[in-house]
A and B are shown apart, each in its own frame.
Chain A
Amino acid sequence: QSALTQPASVSGSPGQSITISCTGTSSDVGAYNYVSWYQQHPGKAPKLMIYDVGNRPSGVSNRFSGSKSGYTASLTISGLQAEDEADYYCSSSTNSNTRVFGTGTKVTVL
């Protein structure tokens, strides 16, 4: 199972909006609405930000939103803040009973 494709890096100024893409295939992203997103600060464990494409867990800022079209899911961060600087990973279930993560995107706040 190949990793989902994410851009290596995305940057934006404070207050701006950025979008991170996550592209898969008909066997994973395109097969189910089971895409989730995780934020990881250096040396820390990942944190769930979005599940089932566009749902936010309790306690996650509403500046984070998710969507999906076809084989590509997206995470949008609006009103970018310094604390949003981190690595972000998408994940999807697959039709072979496995899970797959994205390649990861480093978000830089300029």
Chain B
Amino acid sequence: EVQLVESGGGLVQPGGSLRLSCAASGFTFSPYGMNWVRQAPGKGLEWVSYISGGSNTIYYADSVKGRFTISRDNARNSLYLQMNSLRDDDTAVYYCARDRANTYYDYWGQGSLVTVSP
């Protein structure tokens, strides 16, 4: 059974940093691209970032470019999101999602809440 489990969320002050992790299990992790998608409270979904299986292709949404860094460790079956210079509008539930054919997300984690507040 495919499982994605996010961790690392919490309360952080504006301007601070946080690192999210996503532990994958139930499938061979390395061939699959992975994404981070976020959802602000009461709002819609927003794609954040994509990383290919070999980490050679990485994309970011304009809203996080230069502040967030996506990475992965295929030996540990883990995906990461390093978030720096956090702002109030980064407050959201962050989901990791497995990528298929660079076009859709077939499995999602349960999400990790990040709250940016003084």
**Is B44 a contact of A1 with CB atoms below 8 Å?**
no
Q: List chain A residues, Cβ under 8 A from B59.
A: 97-98
A46-B111 Cα distance, complex, nearest whole Å? 10
Interface string of B42-62 (1 = CB under 8 A from A): 001111001000000001011
B14 within 8 A of A: no
> Closest Cβ of chain B: how far from A33's Cβ, in Å?
9
Interface hits, A29-61 → B, CB 8 Å: 32, 34, 36, 38, 40, 45-48, 51-52, 57
Cα distance A52–B106 when bound, in Å?
Answer: 12
Contacts of A57 in B (CB 8 A): 106
Q: Do A34 and B103 touch (CB < 8 A)?
A: yes
A45–B109 CB distance below 8 A? yes
Q: Which of A3, A45, A89 contacts B111 (CB 8 A)?
A: A45
Q: List A contacts of B47 (CB < 8 A).
A: 91, 98-101
Q: Which residues of A contact B62 (CB under 8 A)?
A: 1, 98
**CA A3 – CA B102 in complex, angstroms?**
18
Q: Does A104 contact B (CB under 8 A)?
A: yes
- The residues in B between 11 and 50 inclusive whose CB is less than 8 angstroms from any CB of A are 35, 37, 44-47, 50
Chain A contributes a number of interface residues (CB within 8 A of B) equal to: 25
How far is A51 from B47 in the complex, measured between Cα atoms in Å? Answer: 16
Scan A73-104; emit 1 where CB is below 8 A from any B CB, else 0: 00000000000000001010100011111111
Residue of A nearest to B59 (CB): A97
Chain B residues, CB < 8 A from A46: 37, 45, 95, 97, 105, 108
Name the one of A32, A93, A98, A102 contacting B44, with C-beta atoms under 8 angstroms.
A102
* B85 on the A face (CB < 8 A): no
Asked if A38 contacts B111 (CB within 8 A), the reply is no
CB-based contact B100/A51 at 8 Å = yes
Which B residues form the contact surface with A (CB < 8 A)? 35, 37, 44-47, 50, 59, 61-62, 95, 97, 100-111
Interface, chain A (partner B; CB < 8 A): 1, 3, 32, 34, 36, 38, 40, 45-48, 51-52, 57, 89, 91, 93, 97-104
